[in-house]
């Protein structure tokens, strides 16, 4: 059996990262849940990154770059959207 410090996060990098985020939110007075909470913020960040990656994959070029050949399909801006999630509504760009 291994002796672990009770304050030290257990598990891999993902568990350690989550523990650091929770500790930082707690120190800054950010709630874990709610519209301005940590879970909503993480959900927003992950959704926006996933949608950006999906557009890059679909179009074949990164944001700010120009396509190698005209395809008629291009990035033409964005607008705010609200996504219903298990942690509540999350507004994304």
What digits encode the pLDDT tens for the residues 20-38? 999 999 999 999 988 889 9
Report the percentage of the chain scoring pLDDT > 90.
Answer: 38
Interatomic CA distance for residues 44 and 22, integer angstroms: 16
* Mean pLDDT, residues 12-27 taken together: 91
- In the chain, what is the straight-line distance between the N-terminal and C-terminal CA atoms, in Å? 48
Instruction: Say how many domains are in the chain.
Output: 1
User: What confidence category does residue 6 fall into, taking pLDDT thresholds of 50, 70 and 90?
Assistant: low
Q: Does a structural domain hold residue 53? A: yes
Tell me the three state secondary structure of residue 86: coil
The CA R_g of the chain, rounded to the nearest whole Å, is 19
* Mean pLDDT, residues 74-89 taken together: 85
Domain of residue 20, residue span: 15-65+79-92
- In this prediction, residue 2 carries a pLDDT of 46
Q: Does a structural domain hold residue 25? A: yes
Q: Does a structural domain hold residue 38? A: yes
Other CB atoms within 10 Å distance of the CB of residue 90: 21
Element holding 89 (H helix, E strand): strand 88-92
Tell me the three state secondary structure of residue 83: strand
């Amino acid at each position: 059996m291994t002796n672990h410090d009770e304050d030290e996060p257990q598990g891999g990098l993902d568990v350690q990262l989550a523990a650091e985020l929770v500790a930082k939110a707690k120190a800054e007075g950010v709630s874990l849940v709610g519209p301005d909470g940590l879970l909503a913020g993480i959900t927003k960040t992950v959704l926006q990154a996933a949608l950006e990656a999906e557009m890059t994959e679909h179009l074949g070029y990164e944001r700010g770059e120009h396509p190698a050949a005209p395809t008629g399909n291009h990035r033409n801006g964005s607008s705010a959207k609200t996504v219903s999630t298990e942690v509540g509504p999350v507004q994304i760009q």
